[in-house]
Structure 1
């Protein structure tokens, strides 16, 4: 187990147990995704929480002000606990681990679909059917991303499987094939 998991897993497991005992698991998972999105999209927030310059009490006050009406009391307690223990800088890792454990417990496969441009509803629906057949399960969580460097097409990651149907991938494979010939 990597060192980071050694630190984050106990927090994630304990928090999931608390959420289960309070019948808040689905709500907490939704909140975790929202906070994770905020953490990843707002470097000012993550930098401030990770900063050694801010005192623990200031971090806790900021967390309370930001999230007291947005999350369950148990989630707010987790945030404060992480701040108290100087681990709030690992919040994203704790929440990612929490989501991993949640998916493992419920046999949910995570499929990351990265496309060159945003997919419309019909494209998402068609792709979802294909990904479900590849994954061998209907129990999927889809994470859609856009990466214009793909030039066109998409890349699907499900567990250890990768399906690269992007133009960038085709160009790369063509380059490798040409390199073998010469």
Structure 2
């Protein structure tokens, strides 16, 4: 596989302390960053970064739409072979090929498919950083409209002084409003007025 030799990942040490959950989160984050970084390096070398990003976004959209696909990706019940076969068939059907497809198949072979959503998020963040952009992780109780996303981009770009891309996620358990994180920080007070107006707009639409 073209990207196999560059996308390796070691096993992390399992903590026996009460910090096991934190350690697991750190492990997932580290794995995601390493895979995404290797993929981005290869994509840039081959001049296919935009295409890889488009394919990953396409797969991410499928994840959001399909509970069965989410189960396949996250459940430890499936073997690596079962995950690989299912993902390969899905990628063919979705028209996703080349480096992005090889990347996802490698994740399946290496029993890292459950980290794939984090890998995609990390890839997007690294691409944005190399473009001089920042990625805002936005969580809302219901899907944001195109107008809401555009307003968020404008408010966040004005606050940070950089071009901001929005990675929107839906969490039905969230009790209304928005959770916005840019880089390693939550939104600052200067944005709250603008975001509150968006919240009111969302309530009116909903």
TM-score of the two chains, using structure 1 as the length reference: 0.71
Alpha-carbon displacement from aligned partner over 1:58-102 (angstroms, at most 9, x marks no partner): 222211211125223111111111111111111111111111211
Match of 1:42 among 61, 66, 75: 66
Alpha-carbon displacement from aligned partner over 1:93-125 (angstroms, at most 9, x marks no partner): 11111112112222211235667885564x665
Match of 2:101 among 76, 80, 86: 76
* Structure-to-structure mapping, 1:51-130, within 5 angstroms: 51-68=75-92, 69-112=94-137, 118-119=144-145, 121=147, 128-130=153-155
Q: Please identify the structure whose Cα radius of gyration is greater.
A: 1
User: Which sections of structure 2, spanning at least 5 residues, go unmatched?
Assistant: 1-22, 200-206
Aligned pairs, how many? 165
Conserved? CA contact 1:28–1:71, under 8 Å: no
Question: Is 2:38 the partner of 1:14?
Answer: yes
RMSD (CA atoms): 3.3
Instruction: Specify the alignment match of 1:164 in structure 2.
Output: 192
SS in 1 for 2:111: coil
Quickly say closer, same or farther: Cα 1:103–1:62, change in 2 above 3 A: same
SS in 1 for 2:78: coil
Distance 1:75 1:120 in 2: 26
Distance 2:61 2:36 in 1: 17
User: Which sections of structure 1, spanning at least 5 residues, go unmatched?
Assistant: 170-182
TM-score of the two chains, using structure 2 as the length reference: 0.64
Distance 2:146 2:119 in 1: 32
